[in-house]
Amino acid sequence: MVECPICGKPVKPRDINSHIDSDCVSFIDTGESTQHNGSSSQNPTASQKPSVSSFFQTPAAKRAASYPTPKADSGTKLSFHQKQTNSSSPAQPPQRKRSFEDVDPSPPVKQEGDSFEGNSDEPATKKTKANAFQKAAPLAERMRPRTLDEVCGQELVGPHGVLRSLIEQDRVPSMILWGGAGTGKTTIARCIASMVGSRFVEINSTSSGVAECKKIFAEARGELGLTGRKTIIFCDEIHRFSKSQQDVFLGPVESGQVTLIGATTENPSFKVQNALLSRCRTFTLQKLTDEDILQILERALAMEGPNYTPSDLVDSELLKYLASFSDGDARTALNLLELAMGLSTRPSITKADIKESLTKTLVYDRAGDQHYDTISAFHKSVRGSDPDAALYYLARMLQSGEDPLYIARRMIVIASEDVGLADNSMLTLATSTYAAAEKIGMPECRISMAHCTVALCLAPKSTRAYRGLNNAFAALKEPGVASLPIPIHLRNAPTKLMKELGYGDQYKYNPNYKEGRVVQEYLPEQLKGRRFLEDRDLGTEIDPGAWP
């Protein structure tokens, strides 16, 4: 006996197909079913339901067969309540599942003798942790301005600043803040978020990826739709994002779902792709002056000085020294002040010892703007025949770890570009300097590089060759000049056919003539008489300050 998978009625196995073909009307087994003991039952009871093959059972029927419902004796009431530990306790009424509506929103009132572990102490614990984190933070973080009025040295957010006006009108655009380290990029972004009351999310390109950014965009879209509150995303070191990662911001920024504030120490023209740059406004933060740094240090000393009980060693003279020491970086200045205050508590220490302990590292980035700016200053100092300035920039690059071969390669360029025909020996000297730097390396090669630097500065200058080449390149930009045919008498004739075509005919071999003088045209016909090499070594402009 099997159960029809469609109607569920019992059917003999041999009739199952015919039963299904009859739309479950015919071949229903309503007759006798033989038991194993040989007896038959005319009217099987419900407990004697014919067995059905599991192959034709529905999934629900299979689960029911696998987990049969337990039977209870008559008169016995099933109870799913928690078993009482005390048999003498009165029966508890059935409990229903609690919902959120059953929870009393008011906090529990602590009675005498009660103990609420964790709950009553939770605010105090959080406050203690917050104070602990605040104390563990460095001085630069503790002294971070909370409002734009506390920001020093940036007229951009001053009382009459352009960005300040946009913030006060609640019209904060997506922007790129470009400035050196410690100029206040992160501080300004946080102050903007607190002033406009927007949701503030801070990410760092070194630890955040595309997936995290997309999640933030989705949350910002939901926040804007539910509460109308905007989201400001502050991305520090945005120049470290790849081009594909920067593309993720294009849609949300353009549609206004988020306001992006990107901070970078690199030139955004080179490090931020144009599509994102066109959707943001670029604001340049100025390098802090020594007066700005001194003001920040004085405020920090007044607030944090009593915690260190510093001696008279940390005075205004030391603060001025630290201000000039920091090179416009407020973070560096505050870190140095914190170190100085810590050292001042040591017994028998002098101000000279504190200054000696604060070893300065030159501000120089081999992969950033400082790299190109310094080599440019070196080149222009040599071109201007100023050996003092050239030696200064040479020493600055070498002291900061610049590759000496990079500087030597630039010297070879200077030897031909600036000295040129005025002293042809400079090219040989520059090439020899490169070989010396390659063979002996630092620190010994610095002497050879200083030798070549001074020689290039003192050598006469001629840009005839360099300007002549530039004139030729300029001519190639004219229509049709770059594809002019080579004069036939100058063409090479390596085959018989080319000779028959006249290649090389009428060419006058100069060494066969007296002093090599011949009348012969070398330029194409269209450029006949055109001159690219000028007669003068240098230009003709006059600087009034250079002449009496």
The predicted pLDDT at position 300 comes to 86
The predicted pLDDT at position 313 comes to 79
SS (H, E, C) 31-96: CCEECCCCCEECCCCHHHCCCCCHHHCCHHHHHHHHCCCCCCCCCCCCCCCCCCCCCCCCCCCCCC
- Would you list the domain boundaries of the chain? 2-64, 154-284, 290-357, 369-462
The predicted pLDDT at position 116 comes to 39
SS (H, E, C) 485-499: CCCHHHCCCCCHHHH
Q: Which of 245, 240, 250 shows the shortest CA–CA distance to 271?
A: 240
| Check whether domain 369-462 has CATH 2.60.15.10, yes or no | no
Blockwise average pLDDT, block size 10, the chain, 548 residues: 80 80 81 44 42 49 48 42 43 44 42 41 51 66 85 84 84 88 87 84 81 88 85 88 85 88 86 87 87 88 72 80 82 86 78 72 56 89 93 90 92 94 94 94 92 96 91 88 83 80 81 82 83 81 75
The predicted pLDDT at position 208 comes to 78
The predicted pLDDT at position 152 comes to 86
The predicted pLDDT at position 16 comes to 80
Compute the distance between CA of residue 163 and CA of residue 178 in angstroms, rounded to an integer: 14
Name beta bridge partners: 262: 176, 235
State the DSSP string of 487-546. Answer: PGGGS---SHHHHHTTTTTT---GGGSGGG------S-GGGTT---S-S-SS-----GGG
Q: How far is CA 477 from the centre of its chain?
A: 40
Give the CATH fold of the 154-284 domain.
Answer: Rossmann fold (3.40.50)
